[in-house]
Structure 1
Amino acid sequence: MNGSIIIAAGGTGGHISPGVALAEVLSEKANAFGYESVYIHSLVRNQNNPDLLNPPCQVIWHNIPQLGGLKTIVYPFLFLFPFIKTILLFRKLKINAVIGMGGYSSLPAILYAILFRKPLYLCEQNCVPGKITRVFSKFAKKIAFSFPIVDSFQIPGKIIGNPIRKRVIPEHLNIRQNENLHEGKKNTINVLVLGGSQGARQLNQMILKTMENAEIASKYKFRLLTGTNLYDETKQKANDGTEIISYANDMKPNYEWANLVVARSGAGVVAECLVFGLPMILIPYPFAADNHQKANAEYLEKQGAAVTIHSTSDDPTPLVKFLLSWKDHSEVLREMGHISLALSNVNAAYQTVSYFFSDSN
């Protein structure tokens, strides 16, 4: 055996969820690829992340400081002590391969791989590669992309798809939520609104204002996941026709209920919508690093699986326009859903692991 594998998956849920999906596969298949075991390396502040409450393997917690602000000058000193602890622990656990999921929290594991000449593999979730991928791509043995990266970046790798956790994967992949709409068996179109775990006030307010349109209220039913911090204020403003939920640990029933999704365009949410064959209205978070959400949304819009609203306000006008145009033309949603499904890869986790650790790839 070649020791163990560490998956550096900290930071945001967009890094953690696909890392956990890879850990699910490797916890069962590590021996088949010549390794003894697999670990997840994540930040202490992620201990309450839903994906890490019941992880498929042991999680090693660390507390590497975030780079930025006034700490920049003294950062090397703040970084050094926890990094030395990481090295000693990794040596003890016989870590002989590193998978970096992106974000600053993956830096200790990546530097360990480089310093001790261990195989380094990188996963890039977005169409615009993150700084970790851009800086360390030349040290990586292989890089897996979730989506095609924008043309301005020349980074070698393989487009596979964003790894999906087992508990999110549909049980019946042949079920198409929007077939019944096209056949006229369903009068109501279910709209799932996702602002992320922290919520998005812009999306919440936009939906509430959209529902003031009588034509839309008569045709569309909304389920709004507000985010825990924004639940109370949104609930107070909502009318009786809106289903308000703060957060859902189990997203599968919500995706199965939906015919259409309104969401930010983070790679994780987008990938999950794709495997359920869902059309999307994407409202990119304008302050995302390198504006990567904009690039993700534009890729999906170009393919025909989504439409994009570029806005920083809660003005419902563009959303109302889309919904009214589809009110009597649900075949448009059906076709968008087919394209969405065609862009998905429900087996991305296994294929990524196979790509990394099979010599033939």
Structure 2
Amino acid sequence: MNESVIIAAGGTGGHISPGVALAEILVEKKEHFHVSDVYIHSLLRNQNNPDLQNAPCEVLWHNVPQFRGLSIPIYPILFLIQFIKTILTFRKRKVTAVIGMGGYSSFPAILYAILFRKKLFLCEQNCIPGKITRYFAKYAEKLALSFPIKNSLAVPVETKIIGNPIRKKVVPESLNIRQNENLHDSRKNTVNVLVLGGSQGARQLNNMILKTMENSEISQKFRFRVLTGTSLYDETVKKAKGPAEIISYANDMRPNYEWANLVVARSGAGVIAECLVFGLPMVLIPYPYAADNHQKENAEYVEKEGAAYTIQSTSEDPSPLVKYLLDWKSNPEELKTMGQNSLRLSNVNAAYQTVSYFFSH
């Protein structure tokens, strides 16, 4: 029997991007995986997301409420309305399998799979499993992991560490991925530093970089390209004193990764996975308020593997970053080694391997 597959990818870009990557493979390889139809189930507020505007399959929109901020009597009523709509939508499309990418927005699709006994697969992007994974893993046939998880799940479920699925438009054109000898050549006059605060931007990172650029030694050796996030672009431009290239948002990230020699970023699973396939060393500054502090664990895993350094701080003090950069100025071979470690951790074929894990007979 051919499967009609729902990919529940709502919430943030960290859930949407790997979901789109799986959809690309399923659409391209329908016959191989015995799939008839593929749909993405996502929140209505994500309609302007570029990945979903150019999705490889039909996107089914829903508006399930987030529990936070709603009173206990109101939430069940609002949820039930949306869930009934989900049931009708899925039945019309004869859904037989659900892939949950995590986040509260995947709950209606996962609940549908459980109640109507459809196949359920889960993807976990982070080292600390999210609530969706922890609560519903026992109902899943298989669980695909991006990284080793810190604490094993308390329920028996088949798991496999594969890597975070990456969209085709981000995958490097050359499967050699990075010519580390050229990229991290100590004879280069400058080192290109790409700064990524995530889809919403990060004021802390932006300000830390602006202060870092005021160091005269760093301004001579390092060039900065800062992706501020749309909402923080104007204020960052006004504060900038040095020659940084400041960009609000980039739909096509591949040229930026190809330009970079080093990335300073939050430690969301998606950004880390993309940096890894480009063989990029990283300075990771975890978002301290992420659920279960999962960004801290993601960063520490990559640091332990020798591909990154971590700055655990909520301040804009540039001192730790300045120290790392000046150390690399006098010891560029360390950057090269970190880039090689980054490449070693990567899996450019994670999307295909995840789909194969779920649907190979």
Q: Same fold (TM over 0.5)?
A: yes
Q: Aligned pair in 2 of structure 1 residues 182, 276: CA closer, same or farther (>3 Å)?
A: closer
Matches within 5 A, 1:100-115: 100-115=100-115
Which residue, 275, 282, 285 being the options, matches 2:284?
282
Give the conservation status (yes or no) of the 8 Å contact 1:181–1:187: no
* Deviation per residue, 1:67-98 (Å, 9 max, x gap): 12333332111111111111011111010000
| Structure 2: distance between partners of 1:315 and 1:66 | 34
| Structure 1: distance between partners of 2:71 and 2:276 | 40
Matches within 5 A, 1:227-306: 227-306=229-308
Is 2:227 the counterpart of 1:225?
yes
Q: Aligned pair in 2 of structure 1 residues 151, 185: CA closer, same or farther (>3 Å)?
A: same
Q: 2:122 maps to what in 1?
A: 122
Which residue, 308, 326, 329 being the options, matches 1:327?
329
What one-letter code is carried by the residue in structure 2 that aligns with 1:192? Answer: L
| Structure 1: distance between partners of 2:73 and 2:343 | 47
What one-letter code is carried by the residue in structure 1 that aligns with 2:94? Answer: K
Give the conservation status (yes or no) of the 8 Å contact 2:124–2:130: yes
| Structure 1: distance between partners of 2:192 and 2:17 | 26
- Partner secondary structure for residue 33 of structure 1: coil
Give the conservation status (yes or no) of the 8 Å contact 1:286–1:293: yes
Matches within 5 A, 1:148-167: 148-151=148-151, 153-154=153-154, 156=157, 157-167=159-169
Moved more, 166-175 or 220-229: 166-175
| Structure 1: distance between partners of 2:184 and 2:35 | 49
Provide structure 2 residue ranges, at least 5 long, that are not aligned to the other structure: none
Q: 1:79 maps to what in 2?
A: 79
Give the conservation status (yes or no) of the 8 Å contact 2:177–2:277: no
Deviation at 1:279, TM superposition (A): 0.2
| Structure 2: distance between partners of 1:159 and 1:73 | 40
Q: Aligned pair in 2 of structure 1 residues 54, 321: CA closer, same or farther (>3 Å)?
A: same
Matches within 5 A, 1:1-361: 1-151=1-151, 153-154=153-154, 156=157, 157-176=159-178, 178-180=180-182, 182-359=184-361
- Partner secondary structure for residue 67 of structure 1: coil
Give the conservation status (yes or no) of the 8 Å contact 2:26–2:35: no
What one-letter code is carried by the residue in structure 1 that aligns with 2:234? Answer: D
| Structure 2: distance between partners of 1:122 and 1:110 | 9
Q: Aligned pair in 2 of structure 1 residues 194, 71: CA closer, same or farther (>3 Å)?
A: same
Deviation at 1:178, TM superposition (A): 4.2
- Report the TM-score when normalising by structure 1: 0.97
- Partner secondary structure for residue 56 of structure 1: coil
| Structure 1: distance between partners of 2:30 and 2:178 | 34
- Partner secondary structure for residue 70 of structure 1: coil
- Partner secondary structure for residue 304 of structure 2: helix
Calculate percent identity across the aligned residue pairs.
75
